[in-house]
Structure 1
C-alpha cells in the first residue's frame, strides 16, 4: 500500500563517525520562517544576498550605530568612516570597540581610546594636567536699592556656597541723590559701622548680615541709616558679588592602564582596564579625561579579570571570565563616594571568552562563554540568569578551539525582516541563531563554503548595511537576491533520518517558489543511509524564467534497507524558498 510521507526541513539528523554520536545537520544559508497562523506551516527562505555599496580602505574592524545622531560609524582598514565617508585615521589591524555620545565618537584600538568630537578635533583619553591655573572671577549675584523695595537679602544656592567668597557692598544714599562712602561687608554675624562724615553726607551703622553659609537658606541684612542732615528718605544700594581668588587647581594623576573595551552610559565613556577587574569612567564635563575624583570602580563579586564592558538602560555591565556583573549609578554627589555600585542580585555566573564575544539583543546579551567557567557554549544573559541556546554540535565545535582563537570570536545581533538573528563567529565557522524560530543555520560564502563574508551589520537609511571580513568593501542585505557581490551561493537543506525498512521510495518532491530565476537552474539531491556520507548527487531542474509551476521531483529513488535521509543543495544567485518535502513509500 502506497503512502506519502512529509519530511521536515528545519534541520536534519546524521552521525559523526569520529565520536559515534548522532548529530544535527543544520541548513546552510537558509532561515526558518515560522507559520503566520496556527493552521499554516512554516517554510525555509534563503539568507538575503549582499549588494555592493562602496569601496573602503580594508576589511571591517567594527561598527557603531550611534543613537545620539542616528549615524553609522565604521572602522575599515585604517580609516574611520561616517556611513561611507572617510573622516579619520585608526591605527592597528585587529577588531576595535566603539562607542558614541551626543558630542563625540570613541574608538578603542591598540590599547588606547581615541575620541573624535563632532567638530572634527581628536583627543586621546588622558589624565588631567597636574595643575591648572584659574585666574579667578568676580560675579554680581544680585543688586538693588531700598527705594525700589530691595532689602539686600540673598537666597543661597549650592554654587554660591561651594566656592569663593560672598561680599555685600552697601552705598548709603537718599532719595534726593545724596550718597555716602561705600561699605564692604565680607563677614556674616559681625557688626560693621561707618565713621561719621561731614554734615549732609549719609552713613550707615550697626550693619549686620544674619544667616548661615548653607545652600537653601537666605542671608538678610540689618542696619541703621543715618541721613546726617541730607534731604530725602533711605535709598541705600545693595550689591552682592561672588569673588573667587586666582589659584592653581591640582588634579590627581591616575594609572589609566591599557584600554581593552569601551561603552557609553549616562554622559560618560567607560573603559575596561586590561588585565584587571577594574573599569574607569570619564568626567561628566570633559569626555577626554577621567573623572576628577573617583574614576575607577571594581567588579569584586568574583575574583576574575574583566574582559568586556557594555551599557544597558543606563547601567554598566562588566563581563569577566566567569561572571557578568551589573552596576548602577549611586546618585551621590559626594566626591569620596563611588559613581557606580554593584547590583549583586543581578549577578550572572557566566563570563565571556573575548572582548567581542557579546552582543546586545533587546534586553539581554548573547555571549560565547569562557573556558574558565567550565563549559564553552552560547548563552543569553539577562533577568539574572543564563540560558544556553547553543546546540550540542555548536558547543562541541567551540570547545575544540584554543583559548586564544576562542577569544577572537565575534557575536553580532541583527534584525532581518521578521527575524531577530544572533550571528556567532569562531574559528573557521559562522552560525546564525534565529530567536524568532529558535533554529540554527550555517552561514557561508563561496563554493568552498568559507564563513560568511558580511559582518558588522547596522540599520542605515532603511536598509541593513554591512562590512566585509576579507575585502575593502561595504554592502547591504538585499532579499531580492541570494548572491554575494554578484557571486552565486550555496543553499543546503537536510531532512531527518526516517525509517522505511524494505520499502521502495519514489516521487521525492521539494515544494519551492519557482519562476523567478534568470536562467535554468538545477537542484542537487543526495541521500545517506548511514547519516555520515552523502555519496553522490542527482541533478534536477528546480527553476527557470517564468516556470512558476516547475516541480522539483525525483521520480525514482529506490530500495531502502532500513533508514534514509536526504540533502538538497542549490548553488545560485536566485532567492531559494522551500515549503515542504514529500516522498511516496511503497
Structure 2
C-alpha cells in the first residue's frame, strides 16, 4: 500500500482533523519514476560573520548587500563579512528602497539616505514618522499611517506639506506601501488602494477607485512581491486573518485551514509584527510568513502543479520548536544572505542541513491509513528515496512512531538511513503494529543528514472484523 507523504493529518483534542505540513522538508513536484513528487531536506544556513546587533533587514543596491544590524548600517563583502558604515538608531524591522543616487533606509520611523560614501538623516519636520517607504517616478514616498508623503523631484531631502496624499476609501489606518508594475499600492488595515502617477501639481498621484482591494494587511512588513503581484497577511473587516495574493481589484486566498489556525493563535501585537518575504530559486517561488515561533512557507509553483495549496514549515532547534533563523533574505554575489535576531549573518546553503552550525530537526506526518473499517497489522514500512547523503563520520537516523487516535504517539523506533556513501541502504521498519480502524505514521530526525524521500510503502495484513 502506497501512502502519501507530501501532506499529513493528525487530530486535536476538540475533535478536529488537522493538516500537518512537513517540517524542515521541502516538497518538490517532479516525476521521478518512484513518484510524482518528493520531500528533500530544506537548505541549511552557513554563517559568515557576527554583526553589531540583531539583524533588521537588508537590500541589494548596485550589487552590494546592505543591511541594518542593531543601530548600524552595514554592507557585506562578497565573502559575507560585515563592514560598518554609519548609525541609523534602534527600532524594529527596517524598510529599504533606492533611487539612481540614494539608498533610503527607514529605521524606527526615521529616514536616512546613503549615497555610497556618507549617511544623512532627513530632518524636514514635514516628513513625519516614516513607517514605510518606496521609490517611484523620481520621488521617495513614505507614510506615517495617515498620509502619503512624497519628496520633491529636485530635492529628495525636502517635503512640501501641500503635496500630501491619503487613502480615502475607508478610514482604516495605512500600514504599508508596495510598488507593483509602476503603480503604488497603499496597504490599509482593511483595504488596499491603488495609485497611479497623474502628474498633478499638488500630490502627483491619483487614486484608481476601480482597483480597490477589499482586504487589508495586518502589519507594515506583512507583505512581499509574488507572481508579478504581491501577497500579504491580513483580512477584510470583521474577518479572521489569512494569506492572500492580490489580483485586479480583488485578492485570492492562498492559506489553508492550518495556516489560518496558526495565525489565529497570535495576539494583536504578534500579528502586527509579522514579517513576510519572497524567495525564488530553482523553478520554485516561495512566500515566507515569519511567525514568533516558526515560519510558514507557501510554494507557488508546487501549488500550481498540484492544483492545491502547498505549504511547509521552517523552524530551528533540535526539536524544530524554535523560530527559523534564516530571515530577511537578500540575494547578492550569487548567494542569498540572511540574518537572525542574535546578529548572525550567513547564506542559504543547499549542501548542509545545519542552521548556523546547529542541528535542526525535521518531521513528516502521513495521511491516515484506513482499512475499509477493518482491522489490520502493519508488518513492514519502507521509505524509498536517496539514502547515504551524510557528512563523514556521521550516521543519520530516522525515527518512526504511530498514532491510533490522532493525538498520542507511540514509542519511537529508529533505523540508520546510511553513512556517507552508503547509498544502497533500504530505509525499512518492521513494526508489526495492530490497529482496529485507522492509523497514522510520523517520521522525524535531528542530524546532519540530507536524505530525500520519494515514496512510502506499507505491507498491511488485513484482519477479520
What is the TM-score normalised by the length of structure 1?
0.73
Query: In 1, are the aligned partners of 2:63 and 2:333 still within 8 Å (CA)?
Result: no
Distance 2:88 2:117 in 1: 18
What residue ranges of structure 1 are gaps of 5+ in the alignment?
A: 128-254
CA distance in 1, matches of 2:237, 2:90: 28
Deviations 1:211-234 (A, max 9, x none): xxxxxxxxxxxxxxxxxxxxxxxx
Matches within 5 A, 1:87-126: 87-126=85-124
Report the counterpart of residue 307 of structure 2 in structure 1: none
- 1:272, CA displacement in angstroms? 0.5
Q: 1:504 aligns to what?
A: 377
Give the 3-state SS of the residue equivalent to 2:377 in structure 1: strand
Match of 1:537 among 388, 412, 433: 412
Give the secondary-structure state (helix, strand or coil) at the position aligned to 1:310. Answer: strand
Deviation at 1:432, TM superposition (A): 1.1
What is the Cα deviation at residue 280 of structure 1? 0.8
Partner of residue 72, structure 2? 79
How far residue 113 of structure 1 moved from its aligned partner, in angstroms, is: 1.1
Q: Which runs of 4+ in 1 moved over 3 A?
A: 36-40, 370-373
Listed one character per residue, the Cα deviations across residues 253-306 of structure 1 (whole Å, up to 9, x for unaligned) are xx43222111111121110123x1x2111111111111x485311111222111
Q: CA RMSD in A?
A: 1.8
Structure 2 partner of 1:168 = none
Aligned 8 A contact 2:417 2:451 in 1: no
What is the match of residue 266 of structure 1?
137
Paired residues of 1:482 and 1:576 also in contact (CA < 8 A): no
Taking a change above 3 Å as real, the CA distance of residues 429 and 546 of structure 1, as seen in their structure-2 partners, is closer
Alignment of 1:381-460 (within 5 A): 381-438=246-303, 439-448=310-319, 449-460=321-332
For each residue in 1:161-212, what CA deviation from the matched residue of structure 2 results, as whole angstroms up to 9, or x when unmatched? xxxxxxxxxxxxxxxxxxxxxxxxxxxxxxxxxxxxxxxxxxxxxxxxxxxx
- Cα 1:372–1:426 shift into 2, 3 Å: farther
DSSP 3-state at the match of 1:369: strand
Match of residue 10 from structure 2? 14
**How far, CA to CA, are the matches of 1:447 and 1:38 in structure 2?**
33
Q: 1:279 aligns with which of 148, 153, 176?
A: 148
2: CA distance between counterparts of 1:347 and 1:36?
41
Residues 56, 474 of structure 1: 8 Å contact kept: yes
Quote the Cα distance in structure 1 between the aligned partners of 2:236 and 2:205: 29
Change (3 A) 1:100 1:477: same
Q: CA deviation at 1:507?
A: 1.7
Paired residues of 1:428 and 1:450 also in contact (CA < 8 A): yes
Is the Cα contact below 8 Å between 1:48 and 1:480 reproduced in 2?
yes
Q: Which residue does 2:23 correspond to in 1?
A: 28
Larger of the two Rg values belongs to structure: 1
**Hey, what does 2:429 align to over in structure 1?**
554
| Mapped pair 1:375 → 2:368 | no
2:306 corresponding residue in structure 1: none
User: Gapped runs of 5+ residues in structure 2?
Assistant: 77-81, 304-309
Alignment of 1:362 onto 2:227? yes
TM-score (ref. length: structure 2): 0.91
Residues 123-178 of structure 1: per-residue CA shift (max 9 Å, x gap): 31515xxxxxxxxxxxxxxxxxxxxxxxxxxxxxxxxxxxxxxxxxxxxxxxxxxx
Measure, in 2, the Cα distance between the counterparts of 1:348 and 1:293. 28
